[in-house]
């Protein structure tokens, strides 16, 4: 059975999460206090309900404890976000992700036991700064403080060569984990594959090594 999600708050973040989850085939219960928002998404998600998520009785009546994963996408109304997270925790929801508006909000949500804090502006700002300074990099995913994955398009210098010939591991200390080619992703026997125009390398490594590869390797 597909994982069941509930998304509370249909602002920009909550609505885009709900749409994408639905597109991926997940069951989504969307909750918002604003009836207009609920009507806008009634035909999009599995079920859209108008409710105040700070009302414990309402949450329990919606069977919130049966959902595998609940995302609190309320930002501006910090009080409602905090109270909702607390009620979800008390109801025993296993996985709670919550959007934080600022550092204080984040600290409180963590203390209440939210499993992941979402800071859209901070996360997007980080990625944009990296994308803006590294013009060959198509995407950037930070795995930890030290490690990241980058997507980088091969340049003329690499076309016709194989990963083994370039020897990214020995020369730059990072690993090519996959090659995106013509809409598919190649993960097996990539070492011998001759690179073609348009190929995209997915590389994992320490951020400083990836930066060196981006500056000198492609
Ligand atoms: P975004 O940037 O994602 O648009 P935001 O940070 O501006 O969102 P808000 O506008 O405060 O966040 O809230 C997002 C949604 O949450 C709104 O559609 C709002 O109606 C809904 N919401 C706020 N309080 C509650 C509540 N107590 N119960 C249910 N929904 C709520």
Domain ranges of the chain: 4-118, 123-217
**pLDDT class for 212, splitting at 50, 70, 90?**
confident
Is pLDDT above 70 for 159?
Answer: yes
> pTM higher than 0.85 for the full model?
no
User: What ligand 1 atom has the least distance to the C-alpha of 32?
Assistant: 30
Closest residue CA from atom 6 of ligand 1: 75
**The CATH homologous superfamily of the domain defined by 4-118:** NAD(P)-binding Rossmann-like Domain (3.40.50.720)
User: Can you tell me the distance from the alpha carbon of 31 to that of 110, in angstroms, rounded to the nearest whole number?
Assistant: 22
Question: Is 11 touching ligand 1 by the criterion CB < 6 Å?
Answer: yes
- CA–centroid distance, 184 to ligand 1, in Å, is 38
Phi, psi of 37 (to 5 degrees): -65, -45
- CA–centroid distance, 67 to ligand 1, in Å, is 20
User: Can you tell me the distance from the alpha carbon of 109 to that of 97, in angstroms, rounded to the nearest whole number?
Assistant: 9
**pLDDT class for 133, splitting at 50, 70, 90?**
confident
* Bridge partners for 162 per DSSP: 194
User: Can you tell me the distance from the alpha carbon of 206 to that of 149, in angstroms, rounded to the nearest whole number?
Assistant: 9
CATH code for the part of the protein at 123-217: 3.30.70.1450
- CA–centroid distance, 59 to ligand 1, in Å, is 16
């Amino acid at each position: 059975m597909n994982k069941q999600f509930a998304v509370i708050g249909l602002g920009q973040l909550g609505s885009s999460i709900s749409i994408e989850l639905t597109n991926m085939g997940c069951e989504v219960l969307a909750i918002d206090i604003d009836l207009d928002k609920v009507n806008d998404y009634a035909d999009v998600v599995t079920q859209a309900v108008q409710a105040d998520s700070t009302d414990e009785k309402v949450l329990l009546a919606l069977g919130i404890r049966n959902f595998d994963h609940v995302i609190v996408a309320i930002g501006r109304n910090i009080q409602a976000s905090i109270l909702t997270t607390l009620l979800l925790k008390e109801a025993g929801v296993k996985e709670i992700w919550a959007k934080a508006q600022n550092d204080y909000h984040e600290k409180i949500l963590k203390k209440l036991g939210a499993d992941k804090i979402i800071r859209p502006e901070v996360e997007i700002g980080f990625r944009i700064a990296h994308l803006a300074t590294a013009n060959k990099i198509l995407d950037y995913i930070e795995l930890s403080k030290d490690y990241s994955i980058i997507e980088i398009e091969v340049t003329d210098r690499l076309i016709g060569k194989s990963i083994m010939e370039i020897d990214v591991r020995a020369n730059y200390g990072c690993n090519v984990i996959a090659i995106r080619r013509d809409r598919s992703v190649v993960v097996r026997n990539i070492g011998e594959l001759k690179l073609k125009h348009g190929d995209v390398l997915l590389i994992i490594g320490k951020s400083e090594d990836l930066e060196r590869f981006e500056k000198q390797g492609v």
